[in-house]
Amino acid sequence: MHIAVQQADPWQTATPLLVVCSWQAQALPEAVLSLVEFGDFSGKKDESVLLYPRGTLPCRRLLLLGMGEYDLTNADTLRRSAARAMRRARALKVDDFTLLLPMNERVSFTDAAQVTAEGLELGAYRYLEHKSTLKPEEQQRIEHMTLLVEHPITSAEVQASVASGQAIARGVMRARNLANAPGNVLTPTRLGEVAQEIGAQGGIATTVLGLDDLKAQGFGGLLAVGQGSAEPPCFIIMEYGQPGPDRPTICLVGKGITFDTGGVSMKAAANMDDMKMDMGGAAAVLGTMQAVAELGLPLHVVALISAAENMVSGRAYKPGDIITTLSGKTIEVLNTDAEGRIVLADALYYAQRYQPAALIDVATLTGAIIVALGKHAMGLMSNHQPLAERLLRAGEASADRAWQLPLWDAYREEMKSKIADLRNITGTRYAGSITAAAFLENFVGNAAWAHLDIAGVAWVEEPTRDDQVRGATGAGVRLLLQALHDWQAASEQ
């Protein structure tokens, strides 16, 4: 979508639809004042009024959106209302509209422009890839809109923030498209091809290791999980930028299980189809890489993705199997459904060769994280508190929230096996997300590492935000981009 930035008086602007976000007790212009005086609109949250002000204002339609209390507004309020504006505009079947950039002292001009652009793009998102015919309302698309700024500010700055917001949203939408794609379409091989496409577009050096490479190099974890499938596993390596004195290396690792049947320890039939999203971590990493390149962040970012399909067959790995991972450490497999940690073991170990300043993995790893945090925050576990806090802050700032859980020695003990170095599950269901993280930690060496368990937030059945629809959310992309942005700002100081 093209977003034009213009400085003008909204009440003098001719447009098919003018959307104005209004806070409680905020003054509105004379033309619509009776609305407030009669008590029909007060700017409360979720309130809205559509007017047809023929003869009084140059706009054909005027939509007032209630924003709630001024003092409770933050960047995410603006992101959500922009998404709401986009949806209302689309439902009104206009092909162009104007939104007055809402200004609030609590959010800077540039942040407001960025999150508004994010909301506009994400509010328009739908996944219609596999519909052979589209209903008229599904065909409705807004290709162009105008963001009005009232105050004389440098519109170049606003324009740049809008462009950043759009790049971030495209990263989120890339992740959504990947996680929404069905398992028969998005195989590990196809995931590798998409990485190559993103790499070619963004000037990111991309390599995909195929079955023979994995065997030659000893990716025992990834090979074991992938061996039951007719679709071969692969390992994706993307390298953006070069390391340097002011350019710390950040490694992003993604779980790319393109479908998780659970393997021989098979999952129940109900909702098993949702397990096409078990590459949500890989999707978040790929969406982030795409946006990092579009934004041109001056960092060295390496993405590593273990991609496989967890299937059942005569060749599948089994409970009781002992496998030797890339690191040389052995794992006793006690449940083939705890496969994510096994493929991540190889990727985390591989990451050590880059000597990263931070190693961050993103994975739809455990159902237990949904029990712990529900659908409103991802779980964060780390061996390095400054890194954990950096990510928690980035999550708050980008409304892509994370909440930290502890990693204590007692949990580490639970992952030890009697007959191998590690076992892939404990004997209980207690603290399932933490014990999974304690398992992963064995493969990170002395890197500063953080693990993001996005199993709860990567997918929504019943969206509660206007910038989400049923299906994949692209969780993790905004948090990672915010963290990388802050990193760059800090290393430039």
Give me the 170-209 binding string for ligand BES, x by CB under 6 A, dash otherwise. ----------------------------------------
Least spacing, CB of residue 191 vs ligand BES, in Å: 16
User: Does residue 261 touch ligand BES according to CB under 6 A?
Assistant: no
The Cα–Cα gap between 79 and 75 comes to: 6
User: Does residue 441 touch Zn ion according to CB under 5 A?
Assistant: no
User: Does residue 337 touch Zn ion according to CB under 5 A?
Assistant: yes
User: Does residue 368 touch ligand BES according to CB under 6 A?
Assistant: yes
Kindly tell me which of 31 and 272 has the beta carbon lying closer to Zn ion.
Answer: 272
Among residues 84, 341, 423, 478, the one annotated as catalytic is 341
By the 10 Å C-beta count (0-12 exposed, 13-18 middle, 19+ buried), 37 is classed as: exposed
User: Does residue 258 touch ligand BES according to CB under 6 A?
Assistant: no
Q: Tokens standing for 248? A: 């710390």
Least spacing, CB of residue 265 vs Zn ion, in Å: 8
Least spacing, CB of residue 127 vs Zn ion, in Å: 21
How many C-beta atoms lie closer than 10 Å to residue 244's C-beta?
A: 12
Place of tokens 């029909």: 40
Among residues 190, 267, 393, 465, the one annotated as catalytic is 267
The string of DSSP codes covering 258-271 is EEE--TTSPPPSTT
User: Does residue 455 touch ligand BES according to CB under 6 A?
Assistant: yes
List CB contacts of 197: < 8 A, sequence separation 6 or more. none
- Contact indicator for 310, 258 with CB cutoff of 8 Å: no
Least spacing, CB of residue 484 vs ligand BES, in Å: 25
Q: Tokens standing for 431? A: 């603290």
Based on the residue annotation, tell me whether 390 is a catalytic residue of this protein. Answer: no
**361 touches, from Zn ion, ligand BES, none (C-beta below 5 to 8 Å by class):** none
- Choice from 76, 231, 260, 400 touching ligand BES (CB under 6 A): 260
- Choice from 169, 338, 378, 452 touching ligand BES (CB under 6 A): 338
Least spacing, CB of residue 336 vs ligand BES, in Å: 8
How many C-beta atoms lie closer than 10 Å to residue 491's C-beta?
A: 15
**366 touches, from Zn ion, ligand BES, none (C-beta below 5 to 8 Å by class):** ligand BES
User: Does residue 309 touch Zn ion according to CB under 5 A?
Assistant: no
User: Does residue 417 touch ligand BES according to CB under 6 A?
Assistant: no
Instruction: Number of residues interacting with ligand BES: please give it, by CB under 6 A.
Output: 15
Kindly tell me which of 341 and 390 has the beta carbon lying closer to Zn ion.
Answer: 341
- Choice from 164, 327, 366, 442 touching ligand BES (CB under 6 A): 366
Least spacing, CB of residue 120 vs ligand BES, in Å: 29
Least spacing, CB of residue 233 vs ligand BES, in Å: 15
The Cα–Cα gap between 364 and 283 comes to: 11
List CB contacts of 232: < 8 A, sequence separation 6 or more. 188, 189, 210, 211, 226
Residues 418-447 that bind ligand BES (CB under 6 A): 425, 432
Instruction: Number of residues interacting with Zn ion: please give it, by CB under 5 A.
Output: 6
The Cα–Cα gap between 365 and 432 comes to: 10
Least spacing, CB of residue 339 vs ligand BES, in Å: 5
User: Does residue 340 touch ligand BES according to CB under 6 A?
Assistant: yes
How many C-beta atoms lie closer than 10 Å to residue 436's C-beta?
A: 29
Kindly tell me which of 1 and 460 has the beta carbon lying closer to ligand BES.
Answer: 460
User: Does residue 364 touch ligand BES according to CB under 6 A?
Assistant: yes
Closest CA to 476 of 377, 384, 390: 377
CA distances from 225 to 155, 290, 451 (A): 52, 28, 20
Give the containing element (helix H, strand E) for 238: strand 234-240
Of all residues in this chain, which one has the CB nearest to ligand BES in the complex? 367
The Cα–Cα gap between 126 and 128 comes to: 6
DSSP state, 232?
Answer: P
**432 touches, from Zn ion, ligand BES, none (C-beta below 5 to 8 Å by class):** ligand BES
Based on the residue annotation, tell me whether 267 is a catalytic residue of this protein. Answer: yes
Q: Tokens standing for 424? A: 């892939």
By the 10 Å C-beta count (0-12 exposed, 13-18 middle, 19+ buried), 190 is classed as: middle
Give the containing element (helix H, strand E) for 21: strand 18-22
User: Does residue 340 touch Zn ion according to CB under 5 A?
Assistant: yes
Rounded to 10°, the helix 188-202/155-180 angle is 160
Alpha helices in 181-311 (DSSP H): 188-202, 211-217, 220-226, 280-295
What is the binding site for ligand BES (CB under 6 A)? 260, 278, 335, 337-340, 364-368, 425, 432, 455
Binding site for Zn ion (CB under 5 A): 257, 260, 278, 337, 339-340
Q: What are the residue numbers of the active site? A: 267, 341
